């Protein structure tokens, strides 16, 4: 899990504005969208919709907005997204099931915040179809 710890550390640093080296904010968005493609949510947008319909709309709104980001717990994510879907995400990212919720709780608010400078989630940049 050392590689994953390094990735999360680099991503968190990038999301906090220390982008000189390490991972750019879009990198985690791309990784999450890739992992989410094989779940019922399909993408980061789908996860946000699920969180909103599970009573966590205030959290999502805070991440999309200009103010401070409300924290979310691993238990709240587990309740909203379900163990089966978290297992799929963990498998895609190569991390143990018991750590998926905690990892998402750490990176999701800041990732969504950085990918929504105008209040709407912007798809992470990557290769564009020709």
In a domain, 66, yes or no: yes
Domain assignment present for 84: yes
For 65-124, what is the HEC assignment? CCCCCCCCCHHHHHHHHCHHHHHHHHHHHCCCHHHHHHHHHHHHHHHHHHCCCCCCCCCC
Residue 14 included in any domain:
no
The CATH number linked to 69 is: 1.10.10.690
User: Domains in the chain: how many in total?
Assistant: 1
Q: Tell me which residue has tokens 């978290």.
A: 86
On the question of pLDDT at 15 being above 80, the answer is no
Has residue 97 been placed in a domain?
Answer: yes
Residue 54 lies in domain: 40-114
In a domain, 19, yes or no: no
pLDDT at 112: 92
- Decide if 119 is inside a domain: no
In which band, very low, low, confident or very high, does the pLDDT at 118 lie, cut at 50, 70 and 90? confident
Q: Is residue 29 part of a domain?
A: no
What are the pLDDT digits (tens) for 33-85? 888 998 999 999 999 999 999 999 999 999 999 889 999 999 999 999 999 99
| pLDDT of 128 above 90 | no
Q: Report yes or no on 51 lying in a domain.
A: yes
Percent of the chain whose predicted confidence (pLDDT) is above 90: 46
Q: What are the tens digits of pLDDT across the range 18-39?
A: 444 444 557 778 888 888 998 9
pLDDT of residue 75: 97
């Amino acid at each position: 899990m050392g590689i994953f710890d390094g990735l999360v550390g680099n991503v968190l640093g990038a999301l906090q504005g220390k982008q000189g080296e390490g991972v750019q904010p879009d990198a985690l968005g791309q990784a999450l969208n890739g992992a989410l493609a094989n779940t019922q949510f399909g993408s980061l947008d789908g996860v946000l919709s699920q969180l909103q319909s599970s009573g966590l709309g205030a959290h999502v709104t805070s991440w999309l907005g200009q103010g401070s980001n409300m924290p979310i717990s691993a238990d709240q994510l587990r309740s909203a997204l379900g163990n089966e879907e978290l297992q799929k995400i963990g498998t895609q990212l190569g991390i143990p099931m018991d750590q998926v919720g905690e990892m998402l709780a750490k990176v999701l608010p800041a990732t969504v915040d950085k990918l929504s400078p105008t209040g709407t989630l912007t798809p992470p940049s990557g290769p564009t179809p020709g």
